[in-house]
Chain A
Amino acid sequence: MINLQDEAQPKGAKIRGNKPVDQLEAANRFIAASAHQKMHDQRLWDLRKKRDAQMHLIPEWEELRDLASEIKNHTLDFLADYLEEFERNATANGVHVHWAKDAQESNQIISDILKQHDAKTLVKSKSMLGEECCLRQHLEQDGVKVIETDLGERIQQLDHEDPSHVVVPAVHKTRTDVSKVFEKTLNAQKGNNDVHYLAEVQRETTRPYILNADAGMTGGNFLVAETGAVVVCTNEGNADLSANTPPLHIVTVGIEKIIPKMEHLAVFIRLLSRSALGSPITQYTSYFRGPRKDGEMHVVLVDNGRSTRLANKTFKPGLKCIRCGACMNTCPVFRRSGGLSYGSVYAGPIGLILSPGYNTHKYRNLPFASTLNGSCTNVCPVKINLHEQIFAWRETLAKDNELSLSKRVIMKTLGQLFASPRMYRTAIQTGDRALKYLPHFMVYNRLNSWGRQRDIPSTPKETFHSWYAKNYQKKEKRDE
């Protein structure tokens, strides 16, 4: 196997406008970069193991998950009331609250706030909502210079790539991959791939931007209705720096991030970092309730499809997500195919259920990038029925005629076969020939890319049906 540090980084899915993303093609390239694939798999599995260790240290872990799920269910049922309560309290604290129907409106609101302040530079802490709205691209077109301050996110920004994971955006890169990016963009020493050196280069080169920025932006992990506060969790302290150094702080946050009270916040903070990174808490858990002296604070509440999802019983539970990434860390498909193979903002199990909601046609292949093993559902701190929703998407896609040709052909043939018990039995009983070739042909053919990395269980010498017929039907006759 090629040495990890010598292997070139495999790039993500090819995006061709609105054409369906070929996750499998990108995943195959990731798997072919075997050293990267192995590192990625190990690193995420390590996070999963750390999460398990933390879980075992908390006797009330399952109770916390139940509570988290109940709190979110309740909040979603009364979302409008809680949003109004948040708005009332935040406004009373001196925060400007804005509402955005979709990504475009959100971007425009932020552009306008920046224009009013004549702000030309923005330091930003990581926000998946920002990625979802393509905020950076929008602001850059407006002539605003945007600097990501989270190390992983900055690496991805400098490499013109999207984050590959909601918590660890550059997890698919090796130290050498990062070193190459920094050499090109930050003037770092050629070939120096010492991780401490690289982190220091980022610290030193980002600091001047933070000190001189006109505005700072953060996302929000939670909104607390009771106090009108925004809560942000980071390890690098970059949210606090971005929000507290420039005179203007803008928060962009999805409307589903709200919770009723401070007592509920405790439940989520206890679960979030333990589920994400296997650490008891993030280094910084920050609480913004109002602007600081001489400062200004704005909160943009973004819908962008969330209220539509709320009306859909099947997919509504997806709104409970707290973006911990635990489902990605445990997913065998994600670990082996890399987050960029999904070609969507949200990857892994949560991505499979969120992405087709944004664009069913483009992301129609994603719900098939799962083994439905249910591991994601088992680790999710807010108990989202991920694997059931993935399955529901497959049904929805089939109903909406959004299956690819290959999937349709296979499903049709197998469907006919399974629909007729007699035909099915004949097919597998026709002895060696059919037994060997028929299922094999069905599973391993060019149409079914699924079968390529998989093996079907070997067919039994005797089918249950014939065994039953031999032993019981005869017996039943005798007993009569």
Chain B
Amino acid sequence: MSSRDFILNKIRQACVSEPTSPPTVPFFHTSSDRIVEKFQKSLEMMGGDILPKGEKDPYEFVKTKLASAKIICPVVPEIVGNCPLTEYTTPASLQNVDYGVIRASFGVAETGSICLTDQNLLINTLGYLPQHLIILLDPTQIVENLHDAYARPEWKQVHYAALHSGPSATADIEGVLIRGAQGVRSLSVFFD
């Protein structure tokens, strides 16, 4: 008998229950008022920040951030960079990128998270190997909580997705909080 059948048989012998359906989960909505404000507050708590819109050019603050960076890898048409992704780009080669600029699929107000899928990232390591990330997010794509987030269609379409809630962090040594553990050192969101 294969291990698979051995395990499944053993489990089936252990469980003889009347068929039931799994519990259904309510959405626990409270109010969708000021959802963008709530998102901002949660994101800041997780160590991320929001880039304001500029007066004449809305992307002014994004561009200021990028001004001193050597290698910029945007995968959005709104921002110009100098490290285009091609079919030859390998995941590891993104290690020298200073800034990645990516559009998120959606945001979650409860936790200040943004969802980056393999379709947003093109190469998944773009979400982790650059030193910093700038994320473009359409504020109408912010949902109230994680129940809404997991009801989104993306999860059944992509092969990879992650909820990013601020930059990478660790508190493994004496509980001291460090931003920029293994992944990015900073994460800024820009609403457009």
Chain A hits for B113, CB < 8 A: 281, 285
A284-B163 CB under 8 A given contacts A43-B174, A245-B91, A311-B13: yes
- B170 to A227, Cβ gap below 8 A? no
Closest to B12 in A: A80
A284-B168 CB under 8 A given contacts A79-B15, A105-B3: yes
Stretch at the interface among A145-153, A353-361, A383-391, A416-424: A145-153
Closest to B185 in A: A203
Checking B15, B124, B147 against A240 with a beta-carbon cut-off of 8 angstroms, the contacting residue is: B124
Q: Is A170 an interface residue (CB 8 A)?
A: yes
- A283 to B25, Cβ gap below 8 A? no
- Distance in Å: Cβ of A460 to nearest Cβ of chain B: 44
Bound: A279/B45 CA distance, A:
9
Which among B6, B23, B45 has the greatest number of chain A C-beta atoms within 10 A? B23
Checking B28, B42, B91, B111 against A244 with a beta-carbon cut-off of 8 angstroms, the contacting residue is: B91
Bound: A206/B183 CA distance, A:
12
- B173 to A236, Cβ gap below 8 A? no
Chain B hits for A170, CB < 8 A: 172-173
- B150 to A237, Cβ gap below 8 A? no
- B8 to A84, Cβ gap below 8 A? yes
- Distance in Å: Cβ of A189 to nearest Cβ of chain B: 15
B-facing mask of A237-268, CB < 8 A → 1, else 0?
11011001100000000010000111111110
Closest to B112 in A: A280
Q: Is B101 an interface residue (CB 8 A)?
A: no
Bound: A246/B110 CA distance, A:
33
- B159 to A93, Cβ gap below 8 A? yes
A245-B4 CB under 8 A given contacts A285-B163, A311-B14: no
Q: Is B182 an interface residue (CB 8 A)?
A: yes
- B182 to A283, Cβ gap below 8 A? no
Checking B17, B170, B176 against A77 with a beta-carbon cut-off of 8 angstroms, the contacting residue is: B17
- A203 to B181, Cβ gap below 8 A? yes
- Distance in Å: Cβ of A280 to nearest Cβ of chain B: 5
- Distance in Å: Cβ of A363 to nearest Cβ of chain B: 23
Stretch at the interface among A66-74, A320-328, A371-379: A66-74
A151-B155 CB under 8 A given contacts A71-B22, A284-B163, A284-B164: no
- B183 to A237, Cβ gap below 8 A? yes
- Distance in Å: Cβ of A317 to nearest Cβ of chain B: 13
A310-B170 CB under 8 A given contacts A199-B181, A244-B124, A260-B22: no
Chain B hits for A105, CB < 8 A: 3
Task: Kindly identify, within residues 143 to 174 of chain B, every residue whose CB is under 8 Å from any CB belonging to chain A.
Answer: 145-147, 149-151, 155-156, 158-174
Question: B interface, how many residues as a size bin?
Answer: 35 or more
Bound: A230/B52 CA distance, A:
36
Stretch at the interface among B55-63, B69-77, B125-133, B134-142: B125-133
- Distance in Å: Cβ of A356 to nearest Cβ of chain B: 19
Chain A hits for B15, CB < 8 A: 76-80, 310
Question: A interface, how many residues as a size bin?
Answer: 35 or more
Q: Is B175 an interface residue (CB 8 A)?
A: yes
Bound: A227/B10 CA distance, A:
25
Give the number of A-B contacts (CB < 8 Å).
Answer: 235
B-facing mask of A276-304, CB < 8 A → 1, else 0?
01011111111111111000000001010
Closest to B175 in A: A43
- A283 to B110, Cβ gap below 8 A? no
Closest to B10 in A: A307
- B111 to A60, Cβ gap below 8 A? no
- B159 to A291, Cβ gap below 8 A? yes
Checking B151, B167, B184 against A262 with a beta-carbon cut-off of 8 angstroms, the contacting residue is: B151
Q: Is B46 an interface residue (CB 8 A)?
A: yes
Closest to A259 in B: B22
Which among B91, B173, B178 has the greatest number of chain A C-beta atoms within 10 A? B173
- A283 to B169, Cβ gap below 8 A? yes
Q: Is A438 an interface residue (CB 8 A)?
A: no
- A74 to B168, Cβ gap below 8 A? no
Which among A151, A240, A269 has the greatest number of chain B C-beta atoms within 10 A? A240
A77-B20 CB under 8 A given contacts A237-B181, A255-B7: yes
Chain B hits for A173, CB < 8 A: 173
Q: Is A330 an interface residue (CB 8 A)?
A: no
Checking A195, A244, A266, A288 against B147 with a beta-carbon cut-off of 8 angstroms, the contacting residue is: A266
Chain A hits for B180, CB < 8 A: 203
Task: Kindly identify, within residues 130 to 180 of chain A, every residue whose CB is under 8 Å from any CB belonging to chain B.
Answer: 149-152, 155, 168-171, 173-175, 178
Checking B6, B128, B149 against A266 with a beta-carbon cut-off of 8 angstroms, the contacting residue is: B149
- Distance in Å: Cβ of A383 to nearest Cβ of chain B: 13
Bound: A321/B21 CA distance, A:
21
A269-B159 CB under 8 A given contacts A77-B17, A240-B124: no
Chain B hits for A210, CB < 8 A: 92, 182
Bound: A190/B65 CA distance, A:
36
- B166 to A280, Cβ gap below 8 A? no
- A282 to B165, Cβ gap below 8 A? yes
Bound: A67/B25 CA distance, A:
8
Chain B hits for A46, CB < 8 A: 175
Chain B hits for A212, CB < 8 A: 92
- B161 to A287, Cβ gap below 8 A? yes
A-facing mask of B16-39, CB < 8 A → 1, else 0?
010111111100100000000000
Chain A hits for B181, CB < 8 A: 151, 199, 203, 235-238
**Sample of 25 A–B contacts (CB below 8 Å):** A74-B21, A74-B23, A100-B3, A151-B182, A152-B173, A168-B171, A168-B172, A195-B176, A210-B182, A229-B155, A237-B127, A237-B168, A237-B181, A238-B183, A240-B124, A262-B155, A266-B149, A277-B171, A281-B163, A281-B165, A283-B164, A283-B183, A284-B165, A310-B15, A311-B10
Knowing that A206-B182, A285-B165 are A-B contacts, what are 17 other residue pairs whose CB atoms are under 8 Å apart, sorted by A's residue number?
Answer: A83-B11, A101-B6, A151-B170, A169-B172, A175-B173, A199-B172, A199-B181, A227-B155, A235-B170, A238-B182, A240-B162, A244-B160, A260-B22, A280-B45, A287-B155, A289-B160, A311-B10
Q: Which residues of B contact A (CB under 8 A)?
A: 2-4, 6-8, 10-15, 17, 19-25, 28, 42, 45-47, 91-92, 95, 110-113, 118, 124-125, 127-129, 145-147, 149-151, 155-156, 158-176, 178, 180-184
